[in-house]
Amino acid sequence: MVLPTKPCVEEWLEPAPMLRIHTGLQHSIIWPSQPNCLPVSFTTLPQKLQDEGYATHAVGKWHVGFYKKECLPTNRGFDTFFGYLTGSEDYWTHFRSGGNQANFLEHWYGYDLHDNLRPAWEYTGNYSAYVFTERVQNIFKSHNQDEPFFLYLALQSVHSPLQAPQKYINMYSHIKNKNRRLYAAMTTCMDDAVGNIVKSLQDLQLWNNTLLIFSTDNGGQVAEGGNNWPLRGWKGSYWEGGMKAVGFASSPLLPSSVQGTITNELMHVSDWFPTLVEGIAKGNIRNTELDGFNVWSTISEGKPSPRKELLHNIDAFEEDDKSTFNVNMTAAIRVGDWKLITGHPGADNGAWIPVPNSGINAFKPLLIPDQNVWLFNITGDPYEYRDLSQLRPDIVSQLTERLHYYYNKSVPAYYPDPDPKANPALHEDVWGPWL
């Protein structure tokens, strides 16, 4: 069999070519009822890969807006889409409430599993990890093996609500904490899904020309079974436990010298765009508005990353004075060994939460009234135990200047009120475009 001249790429990752401060999406998430989406003016990763001759498919979670048809995956560079447009849907029924942006929205319920533009009602009662795995395997089987493909797979696992098939729950009956037991079951189910997908690639003789990328997009939510110990904080915060993400790239195409190795070089989700388009597909990213770096040589050769600093976010949405950056704004930046946090980092200002029933007690930091600046040598102190902001005002000043720089280049956060026209009851009980 002749393999494609370009490698196939399979990715588990949130698509984000730009820093959030350049998209207007730096505050919270897009709730189902909000008339908002990733701005349609931006070129997406799958659009650029289509230009390079790739077939493009999205399976699983979208969650970057759907209020109008222009925002849908099949209008943002994907040839096909099978999955859900919102977040936190039920794994079995595929229904989702309106969210907690407004109390009355809790009573809105809509079906959210779509096969391209069609509500896929026939999958009601089928666990999503099984459904998504089957769809991916069918894509492989029907794929023209003379052309490369890009598959973006965003499994629900292990996002809330905590739900798993009983056979996986039974594996962890020894775990006393219910949330952790369900979380472990969901994780194992996800592992099996990934294994089955890789086996399909191998059976179809596609694996030898495939790059598989696996990544999380945030830290664990301790209220929903997740855990980040010994890191500080959890999902929704700017502490390392909320933001530090791990992942891996696997492929027979990678040199043996880097297979099985670990890199701690800096990388941001926005780096995947130039890395895959330029580094893998050998495409052209000129005249494309990007914040990322091509880090393919870091992954494939172990070279230092071209990224030297990493803006986590600047969220000024709730500030009265937005004329210039100030340290009351919630922000975080990493430059070399240093990490600066300003404003309110979230997660109760950063408790350390051990695994339930571990015998270790949770502990909270000493809170200083009105503190709005924290500085850590994140290389030497990855658990953020020692705030050095008082000892190193010079570093605080330097990193604050970088936040000023980024803020001046940012666009205002766009976080519209819920739209009553979004109510699924007005659209045959389905979440979908309403404008």
| pLDDT score, position 192 | 98
Would residue 222 count as lying in a domain? Answer: yes
The pLDDT-based confidence of 245 (bands split at 50, 70, 90) is confident
Integer Cα distance of 323 and 117 in angstroms: 42
The pLDDT-based confidence of 182 (bands split at 50, 70, 90) is very high
Judge if 268 and 339 occupy the same domain.
no
Q: Supply the range of the domain harboring residue 352.
A: 310-408
DSSP secondary structure letter of residue 429:
T
Is pLDDT of 1 > 50? no
CB of 223 within 8 A of CB of 347? no
- Averaged pLDDT for residues 361-373: 91
Judge if 267 and 401 occupy the same domain.
no
Would residue 159 count as lying in a domain? Answer: yes
> 184 φ, ψ to 5°?
-65, -40
| pLDDT score, position 102 | 63
> 35 φ, ψ to 5°?
-80, 80
Judge if 347 and 223 occupy the same domain.
no
| pLDDT score, position 98 | 84
| Percentage of the chain modeled with pLDDT above 70 | 94
As beta bridge partners, residue 94 has: none
| pLDDT score, position 101 | 64
| pLDDT score, position 179 | 97
Least confidently predicted of 112-116, 156-160, 167-171: 156-160
Asked if the peptide bond before residue 161 counts as cis, ω within 30 degrees of 0, the response is: yes
Is pLDDT of 251 > 70? yes
Cβ contacts of 75 within 8 Å, gap of 6 or more: 40, 69
Would residue 106 count as lying in a domain? Answer: yes
Would residue 1 count as lying in a domain? Answer: no
| pLDDT score, position 9 | 56
What CATH number has the domain bearing residue 138? Answer: 3.40.720.10
pLDDT, mean over the chain: 93
Would residue 3 count as lying in a domain? Answer: no
CB atoms near residue 223 (< 10 Å): 12
Could you give the count of Cα atoms lying within 13 Å of 386 in the half-sphere of its Cβ?
10
- Averaged pLDDT for residues 325-335: 97
Judge if 255 and 376 occupy the same domain.
no
CB atoms near residue 52 (< 10 Å): 16
Higher per-residue confidence, 199 vs 100: 199
Would residue 22 count as lying in a domain? Answer: yes
What CATH number has the domain bearing residue 331? Answer: 3.30.1120.10
Higher per-residue confidence, 105 vs 39: 39
Would residue 13 count as lying in a domain? Answer: yes
Of 90, 102, 88, 107, the residue nearest 424 (C-alpha): 107
Judge if 299 and 332 occupy the same domain.
no
| pLDDT score, position 8 | 59
Judge if 178 and 255 occupy the same domain.
yes
Rg (C-alpha) for the chain, rounded Å, is 22
pTM for the whole thing?
0.94
| pLDDT score, position 2 | 29
| Percentage of the chain modeled with pLDDT above 90 | 88
Judge if 299 and 314 occupy the same domain.
no
pLDDT tens for 28-71 read 999 999 999 999 999 999 999 999 999 999 999 999 999 999 99
| pLDDT score, position 104 | 62
How many structural domains are present in the chain?
A: 2
> 307 φ, ψ to 5°?
-80, 125
Integer Cα distance of 218 and 20 in angstroms: 14
Would residue 432 count as lying in a domain? Answer: no
Judge if 76 and 182 occupy the same domain.
yes
Judge if 419 and 365 occupy the same domain.
no
Judge if 299 and 364 occupy the same domain.
no
Is pLDDT of 14 > 50? no
Integer Cα distance of 315 and 328 in angstroms: 10
As beta bridge partners, residue 341 has: 332, 374
Judge if 77 and 32 occupy the same domain.
yes
Of 79, 23, 10, 71, the residue nearest 51 (C-alpha): 79
| pLDDT score, position 100 | 65
The pLDDT-based confidence of 115 (bands split at 50, 70, 90) is very high
Judge if 269 and 328 occupy the same domain.
no
